[in-house]
Structure 1
């Protein structure tokens, strides 16, 4: 069965993994990214390059989907409505999948603006990391009216074997992702804190992690990030700035709903402190380094 071409704007860690996944599955893929190294990777995977978002949008046919995998709401608006933006060439009946972690009100506003020209929007944040995205095992949280989801069901299934339908209300995918990422941030700060404490107590960190991973303190993100951090590997798989952004947005979303918990804001502040300490472009596991530097209490 023939399938319409798909466009991807943003072929970084997650977007590039999704490109490889779809190309391997035989999809006709058009990709736009400003980074030459990402362009080369997309071409090597079998994708066709577009020079700009609008050029990419012009390559899409009726019923096609445009997947946006950039960093934040400002970048989403830029690739859609900035100079050379895709929106000027999008056609009624096409669908935009919004995959970045952004504020629910931004998702809602973008969806309304797209609807003004007859373009559907699926609120589709994702989680799980590049390896799982490459293998089609990432978590994909989708929120959109049922007919819109049904229209892109084949594509969603190709992207993930774990497509979770949150609701028909665009924005609920973003809300769910922020809840998840706030917990991830809290868990990561906690893991870095206890390992920094264990080191100060003279414990072997690898052995301590072995115990934690088989005990009640285990968390996936703690194990994933702290294993690398203990080995001194801070090459960014997930930049510090991402959870800094996500925890900030999550705390703001909670407060907008009338909720202010005891841990989220504190975790968010730790990521902000890491940024201010010059760790913005390191892996977020570098929180261990930040907390190692805390002076002992007198």
Structure 2
């Protein structure tokens, strides 16, 4: 019997990309990884991935019908990875697929998908949610927008990565729209949790006990519990930098403006992340909002 080698390639092996690399390697996939950070390359190699020096080299490891994951941060990085010098487009072949995982604007997703289609390359709009631990154990959420035939073709790969797969539509950009709605609420919830815990501290309450109450009462939110537990412990090692939700809430507000919608909380939450960045917290975990909001004003 001939053994079918299941292949995938990644450009971006950071917190989320690296977790997906490790998961697929563990499940027997042949994975190539490319990242500009030598530490991330070393981690990917330690997980069992082959290393590629450029996006083009990563794409060149793929066979017919395989998937190249783009797990960077911004739309400009996606464009550079795909179409810049040594870009993946130079090695991608018709029938292969690019899976776009960053949180970027719907318009950027649409443009990238159109450019890929010119070469016959499929695109899955696939933003992620849940954090590195859930990406590593396969329980993260994937918001998928692509033609059903493409999703069916890669069903085994998607199932290996996520037990929470949501097919949004066949239209590129709708995954991004869904992710921006989700992340706007995540940002609002995190700002609210940090504010509430800062108030609890000012009122002289025990923070651990207060959070115990919140987690079992109407104020509970996953992101509030996750981040405030770390904040109470003084753990601000970045799993998700302040700049990520700064970017995402800003994109969500832009999307709202584009359809003539203005809510009372989104713009304010986005401003809090921007202010925290300006206060020097950009490179810390977003749990650090607590340290910023607890400061006297």
TM-score, L = length of structure 2:
0.98
In structure 2, how many angstroms separate the alpha carbons of the residues matched to 1:185 and 1:227? 16
**What does the per-residue CA deviation read over 1:39-74, in whole Å, with 9 as the maximum and x for residues that have no partner?**
111111111001111111112111011011001101
Structure 1 counterpart SS, 2:33: strand
The alignment yields a C-alpha RMSD, in angstroms, of 0.9
Equivalence for 1:17: 19
Report what 1:248 is aligned to.
Answer: 250
| Structure 1 outlier segments of 4+, above 2 Å | none
Q: Which residue of 2 aligns with 1:115?
A: 117
Paired position in structure 2 for 1:271: 273
User: Which consecutive unaligned segments of at least 5 residues does structure 2 have?
Assistant: none
Alignment of 1:137-148 (within 5 A): 137-148=139-150
Give SS of 2:13's match: coil
Query: Where do 1:1-298 residues align within 5 Å?
Result: 2-295=4-297
Q: How far is the alpha carbon of 1:290 from its aligned partner? A: 0.8
**Over residues 132-191 of structure 1, what are the superposed CA-to-partner deviations in whole Å (9 max), with x where a residue is unaligned?**
111111001100011111111111111111111011111000000000000000000000
**Count, aligned residues:** 295
After TM superposition, give the deviation of residue 294 of structure 1 in Å.
3.5
Q: How far does residue 32 in structure 1 lie from its aligned partner after superposition?
A: 0.5
Contact 1:240 1:282 in 2 (8 A): yes
2:69 is paired with a residue whose SS is strand
CA contact (8 A) 1:4 1:60 kept: no
CA positional deviation for 1:3: 4.0
Q: Report Cα offsets for 1:190-219 as digits up to 9, x if no partner.
A: 001111111111111111111111110000
> Matched residues in 1 for 2:193 and 2:105: separation?
26
Q: Offset of 1:4 from its aligned partner?
A: 4.2
